[in-house]
Amino acid sequence: MIPEPLEALGRVFEQLEIKHDFEDERLLTGFGGTNAPYSISIVAWQSAEEWWNFDLRAYIRTGGRHAGSFPLMAVSPHQFDEAHRFLNYLNGRWLTAGHAYIDPDDGDISFRWTGPFPAVITEAFADHLLGAVSQIDHFFPELRAILADGMTAMGAIASHNARDADDREARQDPSDDDAQGNDDDNPETFPFPE
Which CATH number fits the domain that encloses residue 154? 3.30.1460.70
The interaxial angle of helices 77-89 and 153-171, nearest 10 deg, is: 50
pLDDT of residue 100: 94
- Residue 185 domain flag: no
107-110: long-range contacts at Cβ-Cβ below 8 A with a sequence spacing of 24 or more? Answer: 107/62, 107/63, 107/72, 107/73, 108/59, 108/60, 108/61, 108/62, 109/59, 109/60, 109/62, 109/136, 109/140, 109/143, 110/57, 110/58, 110/59, 110/60, 110/136
Helix (H) / strand (E) element for 154: namely helix 153-171
pLDDT of residue 168: 86
* More confident call, 176 vs 39: 39
> Distance between CA 71 and CA 61 in Å, rounded?
10
pLDDT of residue 140: 92
> Distance between CA 169 and CA 122 in Å, rounded?
32
Handedness of CA 107, 144, 37, 7 (dihedral sign): positive
Prediction pTM value: 0.80
Kindly tell me if the per-residue pLDDT of 118 is higher than 70. yes
- Residue 184 domain flag: no
Q: Mean pLDDT across the stretch 34-42?
A: 92
pLDDT of residue 113: 94
- Residue 194 domain flag: no
Which candidate, 186, 129, 81, places its Cα nearest to that of 178? 186
Q: Mean pLDDT across the stretch 150-155?
A: 95
What percent of the chain lies above the pLDDT cut of 90? 55
Kindly tell me if the per-residue pLDDT of 121 is higher than 60. yes
Q: Mean pLDDT across the stretch 165-174?
A: 81
Mean pLDDT taken over the chain:
84
- Residue 178 domain flag: no
- Residue 183 domain flag: no
Judged by average pLDDT, the poorest of 13-17, 59-63, 155-159 is 59-63
- Residue 192 domain flag: no
Listed ranges 69-73, 84-88, 161-165; the one with the highest mean pLDDT:
84-88
* Domain membership of residue 60 as a residue range: 4-171
Q: What is the DSSP letter of 90?
A: I
Number of domains in the chain: 1
- Residue 58 domain flag: yes
| pLDDT category of residue 152 using cuts at 50, 70 and 90 | very high
- Residue 180 domain flag: no
| pLDDT category of residue 125 using cuts at 50, 70 and 90 | very high
* More confident call, 34 vs 68: 34
pLDDT of residue 148: 87
Q: What is the DSSP letter of 119?
A: S
**Cβ atoms of residues 38 and 100 within 8 Å:** no
Beta-strand pair 21-23/51-60: unpaired
